[in-house]
Structure 1
Amino acid sequence: MLRVKAGDLDKMGLLFERYNRPLFGFFYHMTHNADASEDLVQNVFYRMLKYRHAFTGDGEFRTWMYHLGRNVLNDSVKQNKSANHFDVNELADRIGGGTLADESFEKQQDKDFLHKAMAGLSAEYREVLILSRFQEMKYDEIAKVLNINEGTVKVRVHRALGELKKKFFTNESR
């Protein structure tokens, strides 16, 4: 990114190749809309070019990129008021460490319940779960992206998982 900042715009293609899929995954898990996610990725890379002068190189590029991504997503949510979906199948596997039920019907039913439980979480809790479980970001990276301290990230993840379990195992989601 420092080379892009210095005017070597050809390096932007390399950044796109390296980071477009993880960024797409983040957006897809937040919106559950592939077309919207592709648009959001394009908007992030557009903003990277537009605001390349703001990249200092002091922190990790990925952190700066996800920070831009959050801003793009927040702008999109404000415009559309509909970015409230995610991939329940993958989340069920990542949170539970495997499938939630052995039989297909029970598995699908549990995923439906999990979807409802996730939808009931605040955007703040959903976001930390997605960043930590899907994007496999470390707590210190998430803290930088969210502009909060690492302890707050740990607390949010813990509370988000607790809230998710509570919603999943009570009648709130069933």
Structure 2
Amino acid sequence: MLKVKSGDVDRMGLLFERYHRPLFGFLYHMLGGRVEASEDLVQNVFYRMLKYRHTYTGAGEFRTWMYHLARNVLADYVKKNRHAAQHTDVADLAEHLGGGPRADEGLEHAQDVAQLHQALARLSPESREVLVLSRFQELKYGEIARVLNTTEGAVKVRVHRALNELKTTYLRIEN
């Protein structure tokens, strides 16, 4: 990113190759499984990286800065689309499943994933965010603390509470 900041914008392609999937995963889970919106927001994040490259100092990890931008893009999207209903599209998940002898297992897995997305969507945005960053994006608590501008201890508490809330919500949906 420091090379992009200094004017070598061709390096942006390398950053895209490395980080578009984790970024998509973060946005996908935060948006309750909406594929098209997540893809659009990934593009917006990379656009903002390029536009605001002068703000990257290199003092911290690039991922921390990237997730700050992603959170801002997500917040802007949510403000604009408050009326849009959050949903999990099982058809999107089933599209990735192949047929064959294990098709029933694939369908069952898709239903489990759909229930997980429903449970995640019912959590508060703050709870969902710490779970997505810690469990799906596999960021360390220290990294999450820097992204959220809080302490590592506070992140641990939030993750623990969010996991309990997710478990309770998931079990309610399952029954």
Q: What's the TM-score bracket when you normalise by the shorter of the two chains?
A: 0.7 to 0.9
Give the count of matched residue pairs. 160
* Contact 2:89/2:114 (8 A) holds in 1: no
Q: Which residue of 1 aligns with 2:76?
A: 75
Judged with a 3 Å threshold, the aligned counterparts in structure 2 of structure 1 residues 134 and 86 are, in CA distance, closer, same or farther, namely: farther
Structure 1: any 5+ residue segments left out of the alignment? Answer: 89-102
Judged with a 3 Å threshold, the aligned counterparts in structure 2 of structure 1 residues 120 and 56 are, in CA distance, closer, same or farther, namely: same
In 2: Cα distance, 1:74 partner to 1:83 partner: 16
Q: Which residue of 2 aligns with 1:51?
A: 52
* Contact 2:123/2:166 (8 A) holds in 1: yes
How far does residue 45 in structure 1 lie from its aligned partner after superposition?
0.8
Q: Identify which range, 23-32 or 58-67, moves more after superposition.
A: 23-32
Q: TM-score, normalised by structure 1?
A: 0.80
Judged with a 3 Å threshold, the aligned counterparts in structure 2 of structure 1 residues 104 and 63 are, in CA distance, closer, same or farther, namely: closer
Q: Which residue of 1 aligns with 2:96?
A: none
Structure 2: any 5+ residue segments left out of the alignment? Answer: 91-104
In 2: Cα distance, 1:65 partner to 1:51 partner: 11
Q: Which residue of 1 aligns with 2:100?
A: none
Q: Which residue of 2 aligns with 1:22?
A: 22
How far does residue 35 in structure 1 lie from its aligned partner after superposition?
1.3
In 1: Cα distance, 2:107 partner to 2:4 partner: 51
In 1: Cα distance, 2:152 partner to 2:26 partner: 20
Q: Which residue of 1 aligns with 2:99?
A: none
Q: Which residue of 1 aligns with 2:63?
A: 62
Task: Give the secondary-structure state (helix, strand or coil) at the position aligned to 2:42.
Answer: helix
* Contact 1:40/1:73 (8 A) holds in 2: yes
Judged with a 3 Å threshold, the aligned counterparts in structure 2 of structure 1 residues 151 and 84 are, in CA distance, closer, same or farther, namely: farther
1:77-101: CA deviations, max 9, x gaps? Answer: 111124745689xxxxxxxxxxxxx
In 2: Cα distance, 1:141 partner to 1:87 partner: 31
* Contact 1:2/1:57 (8 A) holds in 2: yes
Q: Which residue of 2 aligns with 1:33?
A: 34
Judged with a 3 Å threshold, the aligned counterparts in structure 2 of structure 1 residues 115 and 52 are, in CA distance, closer, same or farther, namely: closer
Query: What does 1:22-171 align with in structure 2 at a 5 Å threshold?
Result: 22-31=22-31, 32-81=33-82, 82=84, 84-85=86-87, 113-170=115-172
Judged with a 3 Å threshold, the aligned counterparts in structure 2 of structure 1 residues 57 and 148 are, in CA distance, closer, same or farther, namely: same
Q: Which residue of 1 aligns with 2:6?
A: 6
Question: Residue type matched to 2:34 in 1?
Answer: N
In 1: Cα distance, 2:161 partner to 2:86 partner: 19
Q: Please give the root-mean-square deviation of Cα atoms over the aligned residues, in Å.
A: 2.6
How far does residue 125 in structure 1 lie from its aligned partner after superposition?
0.5
* Contact 1:27/1:40 (8 A) holds in 2: yes
How far does residue 140 in structure 1 lie from its aligned partner after superposition?
0.7
